[in-house]
Structure 1
Amino acid sequence: MPDICRPWLLILLALSACAQSAAPPPQTAATQVAAPASARTAWWNDNRWRYHDEGEADAAYQRLLQQQSAWPEWHQVELVTLPAGLRFEMALSPGQPPERPGAFGTFDRIPDVRYVRQRLAVKVAWKPSIDRVATFEIVEPLAADTGTVGPQIDAQAGYLPGGGSQFEMKVPPAERSRHLKLVAIRPIR
């Protein structure tokens, strides 16, 4: 694509994103995110080196905006079985009951909301507010995909670099609770 076309394409993509009311969670259809220029610059500084040329890096950035994958582009799905006795943490929103856990957990200690946004790359659109962390123990072996949190571009928070640990439970939502025991809940800010 000629360099003269790129600014217009970015403007059109940004305007398209502004017309949407809110980004859906990552499991729904892909949508464009309105990204501040500083978010692109920060992503570029962290990730440009991964790609052969600027065109390839631009395409990767556009895929991130469109697909909003929880995983980095280089992630290879490999299902594992997490054993009974293993503990993990999960950030919770106000009103989210721990008896209905989300699909993603982390093996990292979650110190505060900033960590959830920056290292776990949880977008404001996905969890507008976070007030607690639940610690769970796996009581029945659990199928999961494990790996590194991929970056996100958030319309409000900007560039979220990710890099923390994560796993995605590969069981239906109604079955998650039977694999888990709630160990503790603590507030975070």
Structure 2
Amino acid sequence: MSEIRGAGYRHATFTESETPAKVSSTRGTVWILFAAAVCTLLTFVSLGASGYFLHQRDIAADREVQRAAYIQFAEQAITGVTNLDFDTAPDDFARVLAMASGVFAADLAKGKDDFSQLVQKAQVKAKGEVIEAALESSDDHSAQALVLVKQTLSNVGAEGPQVLLSRFRVTVARADDGKLSVTGMERMQ
């Protein structure tokens, strides 16, 4: 047993195994272990947060790809509807009908022959060009796109080509297999 007297110590008695150097080295080891545990925990939290943010970035990228696909399909559908030629009217309507589904497809199919005959009789030529398109709303299964189209029309009753600017709302649906189709289309005023 040792006795220490002097500056800072008031009569303290230690056994040989409990000298102040050993006590302070034990405390230092505890603090090092505590700091290592905190650093390890922070590393795992950082890795988890990084993984989460990377996952969110991937989800956002997938949504952006999906939105671009909806817009592209709506533009393609409007281009099909606004580009007609009396020489190829049945084929033009067949292309549009192939892109449609549901009630919209049924309505198109009902009026296809009458409209095709009208286009042929009036010798209609229409060339449509998409000026701008954007999504109004979208989710994993459907979207509504707004499409601005410049269409140049000519027919036997007109004195030259007419240029029209039209806005359309196109509803696009995604089937379970990922295939897109138009389920609605309306000209907006």
Q: What range describes the TM-score normalised by the shorter chain of this pair?
A: under 0.3
Q: Normalising by the residue count of structure 1, what TM-score does the alignment of the two structures yield?
A: 0.22
Higher strand share: 2
Q: Normalising by the residue count of structure 2, what TM-score does the alignment of the two structures yield?
A: 0.22
Higher relative contact order (CA 8 A, sep 6+): 1
Q: Which has the greater radius of gyration?
A: 2
Higher helix share: 2
